[in-house]
Amino acid sequence: MTSRLISSLSTILKLIVYYLSNSLWKFVFLSMENLNIKKATIADLDQLQQIGKQTFFETFAFGNTEENMKTYLEEGFSVAKLTTELNDNNTEIYFATLDNKVIGYLKINFGQSQTELKDDKALEIERIYVLKNFQGKSVGQLLYDKAIQIALNKNADYVWLGVWEENPRAIKFYKKNGFVEFDKHVFKLGNAEQTDLMMKLKLRNSE
């Protein structure tokens, strides 16, 4: 009986060690105090390219061809393009870091750097992406809250964004935060044309 008990306890201990060694379970047990939001600079270009490619692939690879994904990842996250974005005064990029590891990021645009509306009284959330293993842990919400805080500080009338119509998780997230659909536009991924829902959150009445 004693030997069986010891064997069972040993098995349980091994399972605990296994789960704690997994990054997802590490996150569950770590205090949120270890999660930080920091602004990215040109010195972070390599990290931005890495997190950008990985999160985009995790989000969209299932619904797109390998060739189209390869083309977009090479062009959309090239060193030249990311350098331009990091040096743009009307674009800001923020990392979500956990123990100095980048696990997600936010990209926002103002004024003429917005991808479509170009409204000086608006802020565009172009990207909020979180590594798959850290989704559902409020990382995306913290990045979103950062964007709204900046929009309010800039006295923006509204925040807008585009989200792929076949990304129900993201659509649900933005609807939960008060966004409503107001239009659609075409997003090119390689040679594929996809439909994005354009969504808006009104922050205050415009004068």
Q: Do 91 and 143 share a domain, yes or no?
A: yes
d(CA 98, CA 101): 5
Are residue 26 and residue 50 in the same domain, yes or no? no
CA distance 155 to 24: 37
Q: Count up the domains in the chain and report the number.
A: 2
> Both 98 and 153 in a single domain?
yes
- Specify the amino acid at residue 159: V
Is 145 in the same domain as 92? yes
- The confidence band for 10, taking pLDDT boundaries of 50, 70 and 90, is low
**Does one domain contain both 82 and 141?**
yes
Q: Report yes or no on 62 lying in a domain.
A: yes
Residues 26 and 40 in one domain: no
Least confident residue range of 26-30, 75-79, 110-114:
26-30
Shared domain check, 80 and 26:
no
Q: Is residue 24 part of a domain?
A: yes
Q: Is residue 60 part of a domain?
A: yes
pLDDT for 34: 84
Q: Which residues are catalytic?
A: 174
Note whether 26 and 36 are same-domain residues. Answer: no
pLDDT, one tens digit per residue, over 83-117 is: 999 999 999 999 999 989 999 999 999 999 999 99
- As a whole number, the mean pLDDT across the chain is 88
Answer yes or no: is 157 within a domain: yes
The answer as to whether 193 is a domain residue is yes
* Domain shared by 82 and 9, yes or no: no
How far is residue 20's CA from residue 26's CA, in Å, rounded to a whole number?
5
Task: Find, among 48, 39, 35, the residue nearest to 129 by Cα.
Answer: 48
pLDDT at 75: 95
Across the chain, which distance is largest between two alpha carbons, in Å?
78
> For residue range 108-158, what is the model confidence (pLDDT) as tens digits?
999 999 999 999 999 999 999 999 999 989 999 999 999 999 999 999 999
Is residue 147 included in any domain, yes or no? yes
The CATH number of the domain where 111 resides is what? Answer: 3.40.630.30
Helix (H, G, I), strand (E, B) or coil at 95: strand
Q: Residues 176-193: what's their mean pLDDT?
A: 93
| Residues 24, 47 within the same domain | no
Q: Is residue 68 part of a domain?
A: yes
Flag whether 207 is in a domain.
no
3-state secondary structure of 97: strand
Distance CA 60, CA 169 (A): 12
Q: Could you list the residue range(s) of the whole structural domain that residue 90 is in? A: 31-202
- In the chain, % of residues over pLDDT 90: 75
